[in-house]
């Protein structure tokens, strides 16, 4: 069934900008892996394996995707003075649309136009810099992805 003219407009109006139009699903294809730099002062997924995720979104009006400020997971050893940063590269609409952000310890946001946002692929790199090096242990970074 194809909706045209007033019927399609009426359906969009009835649905409004409700959460039904703003639902999204984040699927992490590769969780990422941190590796230690040669000088021992940095752990980074750019040295290991980047996290790759796909966001499926049904918001016909467009979406804003937000990556939270990166942080060490609570189970990681305590590292006073460590700097946790992330960088991303995103593509959509078969690579015709894109956004990227360099390393920062702040959050990132970008907007994807309506319909083009059906599938957005994000490559995320996290890194932790500690001038004093790292104690033995398992280190995990965390970044939250949200779409509105």
Going along 8-143, which residue ranges are E strands?
24-30, 33-36, 42-49, 51-57, 63-67, 71-72, 83-92, 97-104, 108-112, 119-129, 141-142
The CA distance from 65 to 85, in Å, is: 18
Q: pTM, whole model, 2 decimals?
A: 0.80
Helix (H) or strand (E) holding 13: helix 5-15
Residue 3 above 60 pLDDT?
no
Mean pLDDT value of segment 108-135: 91
pLDDT level of residue 22 (50, 70, 90 thresholds):
low
User: What pLDDT, in 10s, does the model give residues 24-77?
Assistant: 888 898 889 999 999 999 999 999 999 999 998 867 788 899 999 999 988 888
């Amino acid at each position: 069934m194809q909706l045209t003219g007033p019927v399609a407009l009426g359906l969009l109006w009835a649905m409004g900008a409700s959460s039904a139009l703003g639902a999204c699903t984040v699927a992490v294809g590769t969780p990422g892996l941190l590796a230690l730099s040669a000088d021992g002062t940095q752990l980074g997924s750019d040295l290991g394996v980047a996290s790759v995720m796909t966001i499926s979104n049904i918001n016909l009006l467009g979406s804003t995707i937000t990556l939270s400020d990166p942080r060490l997971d609570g189970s990681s050893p305590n590292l006073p003075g460590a700097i946790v940063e992330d960088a991303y590269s995103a593509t959509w609409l078969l690579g015709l649309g894109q956004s990227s952000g360099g390393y920062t310890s702040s959050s990132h946001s970008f907007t994807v136009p309506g319909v083009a946002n059906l599938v957005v692929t994000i490559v995320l790199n996290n890194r932790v810099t500690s001038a004093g090096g790292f104690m033995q242990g398992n280190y995990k970074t965390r970044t939250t992805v949200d779409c509105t």
